[in-house]
Structure formats: C-alpha cells, structure tokens
Structure 1
Amino acid sequence: MGSMPHSPRQSSRRNASRPNTINAKAEAQAAKNMPLTQGLKIDALQTSSTGWKPLSVGKSSGPSNLATPSNLMDPAMVQRKVKAALNKMTPENFDRISDQILEIAAQSKEETDGRTLRQVIQLTFEKATDEAHWASMYAKFCKKMLETMSSDIRDENIKDRQGNVVSGGALFRKYLLNRCQEEFERGWKLQLPDPKEGEDAKGGAAVLLSDEYYLAAAAKRRGLGLVQFIGELYKLGMLTERIMHECVRKLVDYSGIPDEAEVESLSKLLRTIGGNLDAAEKGKPMMDAYFQRIQSMIDLPGQLDF
C-alpha cells in the first residue's frame, strides 16, 4: 500500500537517506567560535610603566588638572583648547569661559619662560583683531588677566633695570605692550587688487575671489580691529596716554598721499579714544594738531571724507 503524500513515514525515510548536515554545520560553527586558549592557564595582564595611555584616563573633564608639573600641556593642546574657549566666549558666559582660559594660562607657573601665557595673549590678540565688534570684551579679558596674574609666573629671559626677573602682573603688561607694538608696527598696508582696465564683470569677480584679494582684505580687517582693540585697552587703563599719542602720530605722519587703510584706522581710533584724549590735561592741544593734519588729508585731491 503506497504511503500518502507528506505522511510521517515518507518523511522519515527521506531524512534517513541523507547525511546529517545540520549537526555538521553546528559543530563547524562551534569550532569557529571556540577560544584558542581553551584549556590553557591564563595569567593576569601586567600593566607596563611605559605603555601608551589616552589623555582622558584618570583625568576629570574640567581643566583643573591640566597644569600639574608632571603633565604640562604642549603648545598644540594649548592652541586647541584656548581657541575653542575664545570661540565660545560671549558677554553672557564671560566669567565662566575666561576662568577656563586663565586656568590654562596658569600652567606658566611651572615654566621658566612664560610660554603658555604668551601663547594665550597671542591667541587673544588674533581673536580681538579679527572680531572688532567684540574688542571691548577681549580688552576686559586682558584686564582680568592682569588683575589675577600670579606672581609665580615668571620669565627668566626678561629682567628689569635692576636685573631682577620680571614676574606676575608686570610680566603680563610687558608681554601685552610687546604684542601691541609688534602688531601695530607690522601694519596693514596690503593694497586690495583692482580689476585691470578693460576687464569685464567676470574678470572683476575673479579678482575679488583671488587669494591676493582675500589676504589683503583680511590684513585690512585685522588692522581696523587692532586699533579698535588698542583703544579699548587704553580706556580700561591697560595702555598709557603716551602710547596712544604715539599711535595717533604714527597714523597722521605720512608723506605724499596717505594710505587709505591708515586713514580709515585713524578715523576708527579717534572715534574710540578721541574723547578720552581730548579730556586729558595735555590732550587738547595735541588733538587740535591732529585734526589740522587730518584736514590736510581731506584737502588732498581724491581723498575720502572722514
């Protein structure tokens, strides 16, 4: 009697007639997953004293442990952290962010040349001159640095007239004045390239997109930001009246046709500090002399009005 289709008897005969591939596959998979160390005695791993460790291991997320004698941050790390903090700084979070940067700058207490403090000042200058609309905030940060500077921060390469190593607030002021002078004397006289005569609109657009135009425009922007920042430093008592008069005289002391960027910078500087200088005891006669010089600039053919 023939078996019915799909009956249990038929199914059992069919399975009995072929090898048991299911068990073979399971064994192969188990062999593949079986540890190579099965049956062996495994000793505990020993930590090497010279082994690599990630920077985050054993440290808190805040900057409080960054300036320890045994673990000073290298300049690249300082660069990244300070730039990131400056990018976040606003008038609303000023106290919190400025404290973070000052804690990084405090690393200079373990240095003999104040390199971390100098780097923080340089990065602050770069940010202030690139963002003139925040100049007053960055000047306020410099004021805070001066007032909170530890006397333990020193630079053995800088000494006063008595031969003593300069430290603390005096060192910060020295660094600040040097940076002001370097940036101001460097100038921003790069001329913006103009389209050549006869060039069409497409050629003129190409000039505006060129690297040369970009660099010149950036230099001009930094120059305007610099005089704005210097003016704000003066208003906070960080720079003296004598230094500000030197800056103004440098801008009005020209021969021939004055540079347009310097004329614009002079205008911005006088708008920032002109009232303060004019109100000073000896300032009014000097301001009168400056404006006579400015009038001579205006009277030159082709000059822009202030």
Structure 2
Amino acid sequence: LEIDRYEKLEGMITIFFSKAVDEPAFSFLYAKLCKQFQKKQVTVPGDDGKLITHYFRQILLTRCQKEFENDYRQEIEYEKRKAEVETLTDDKKRKDEAEKLEEDLVKAKRRKLGNIFFIGELFKLQMLTDTIMYDCIEYLLRDKSDEESIECLCRLLRTIGKELDGKALEKTVNKTNLEKHYRELDGIIKEQKTSARIRFMIQDLMELRQVS
C-alpha cells in the first residue's frame, strides 16, 4: 500500500480508529493492523519549505489522546444540554429533547468505551505508553457508582493488567498508582453500593491478578 501523502496516512488511521471504536469486539484486529503499519511515514514540505517527517505511530497516539479528551468534553456538554432541557416550559418539547439527549449520551458512552478498549489493545502491542492507560483508569474510576464504567475498567484490566503490573516494577510512581487503583476497586466491593454482579466481577479480577 503506497502512502505518499500526509492525508493518506491520516486517512488510514481514521479508518482503523473508527472501525475499532464502532466494533469493540474486533478492536484487537485493528490494533494488529496498526502494528503492521506503525513504521509507515511520509516526508512532506512544511509551510516554511523545510521537509517534515510524519510518523504513523505518532499520529495514532495524538488521535487517541484527542478522542479521549473529546469524550470528556462531551460529558461537560451533556450536563450543559441537560440543564437547558430542564428549563423548557413546553412539556412535549422537554420530553422530546430529553429523549434525544439520552440517545446521544448512550452513543457517546458506547464510543468512549470502544475508544478505551482500542487504546488497551494498542498498549498490549507496545504501541502506546502506560501514561495514557493510567489516564483511562482514573477516568473510569471518577464515579464509582457508574457500573458501566466500572465494568469497562474490569474488562480493561483483564486485558492489560499483567502488562501494567510488569511495567509498574520499572517505576515506583506507577506501582504506587496501580496499587491505589486496585485498593479503590476493593473499596467498591466493601462498600456494597454496586450490584452483586459488579462486585463479583471485581473479585474475579482481583483473584486473576493474584494467580498471574
């Protein structure tokens, strides 16, 4: 596949990313495709005429970070729209807008989780650093009553937990952070404010970590 322009390189990443996020069950396949193309690069003239080399891997990392930040911005926008809907005086319009808002939220959450799973698969293939993974973990632990996020975190840690533990041995700060996050999960079990299904899921994760 000839990639001779920046637009082609970026377009390829957009396709891989969109497919992986829309089809999270196959995110590992799209991550492997990214791995195959990670050394792709294009060199093009910049605005000043000097040649600039763009690397597939760096563009991919930037895209992951932007998507992650965009998920956070969408949540803020949702709260803003929710407040606006609540001020509507027309009952029918308020009901219609509330339903549309809920549909948008479901889509946004699905995309957010797909994004995180894809990032996890890329991390497993050593295409991303552990820094962005800790950002994902902290993001998912912000609201410990959000069972969807906690379930996502458990699934993510089942996928990348072993790799995170291995890398944590190299950095004291990472080991400290990782242990803190597992203690937070343990706290969710003890507080018993979530469903039994979620608590059992966390317990299974803890036991898997012990035997690994």
- Provide the secondary structure at the position in 1 that maps to 2:178: helix
Aligned-residue offset at 1:164 = 6.8
The answer on 1:138 being equivalent to 2:30 is yes
The answer on 1:262 being equivalent to 2:186 is no
Q: Cα gap change, 1:145/1:185 in structure 2, threshold over 3 Å: closer, same or farther?
A: same
* 1:287 alignment counterpart: 178
Aligned-residue offset at 1:138 = 0.2
Contact 2:45 2:51 in 1 (8 A): no
Whichever residue aligns with residue 7 of structure 2, its letter is R
One of 123, 129, 134 as aligned partner of 1:234: 123
One of 144, 165, 168 as aligned partner of 2:52: 165
> Equivalents in 1 of 2:51, 2:185: separation in Å?
44
Whichever residue aligns with residue 156 of structure 1, its letter is G
- Provide the secondary structure at the position in 2 that maps to 1:239: coil
> Equivalents in 2 of 1:301, 1:165: separation in Å?
55
Structure 2 residue runs of 5 or longer lacking an equivalent are: 83-94, 203-212
In our comparison, the structure showing a higher alpha carbon Rg is: 1
> Equivalents in 1 of 2:104, 2:7: separation in Å?
28
1:73-222, aligned counterparts within 5 Å?
Answer: 102-103=1-2, 106=3, 109=4, 111=5, 114-147=6-39, 149=40, 151-154=41-44, 156=46, 165-167=52-54, 171-187=55-71, 189=75, 211-222=100-111
Whichever residue aligns with residue 240 of structure 1, its letter is T
- Structure with bigger helix share is 2
Aligned-residue offset at 1:239 = 0.4
- Provide the secondary structure at the position in 1 that maps to 2:46: strand
Q: Cα gap change, 1:247/1:229 in structure 2, threshold over 3 Å: closer, same or farther?
A: same
The TM-score with structure 2 as length reference comes to 0.66
Aligned-residue offset at 1:243 = 2.8
> Equivalents in 1 of 2:19, 2:139: separation in Å?
24
* Alignment deviations for residues 52-103 of structure 1 (CA, whole Å, 9 cap, x no partner): xxxxxxxxxxxxxxxxxxxxxxxxxxxxxxxxxxxxxxxxxxxxxxxxxx44
Percent of residue pairs identical? 34
* 1:41 alignment counterpart: none
* Alignment deviations for residues 185-225 of structure 1 (CA, whole Å, 9 cap, x no partner): 2227469x9xxxxxxxxxxxx99xx5444332222222221
Q: Cα gap change, 1:299/1:136 in structure 2, threshold over 3 Å: closer, same or farther?
A: same
Aligned-residue offset at 1:301 = 6.0
Structure 1 residue runs of 5 or longer lacking an equivalent are: 1-101, 158-162, 194-205
Which stretches of structure 1, 4 residues or more, deviate above 6 A after TM superposition?
A: none
Aligned-residue offset at 1:152 = 3.9
Aligned-residue offset at 1:299 = 4.4
* 1:274 alignment counterpart: 161
Aligned-residue offset at 1:230 = 0.6
Aligned-residue offset at 1:248 = 2.1
Contact 1:223 1:265 in 2 (8 A): no
- Provide the secondary structure at the position in 2 that maps to 1:165: strand
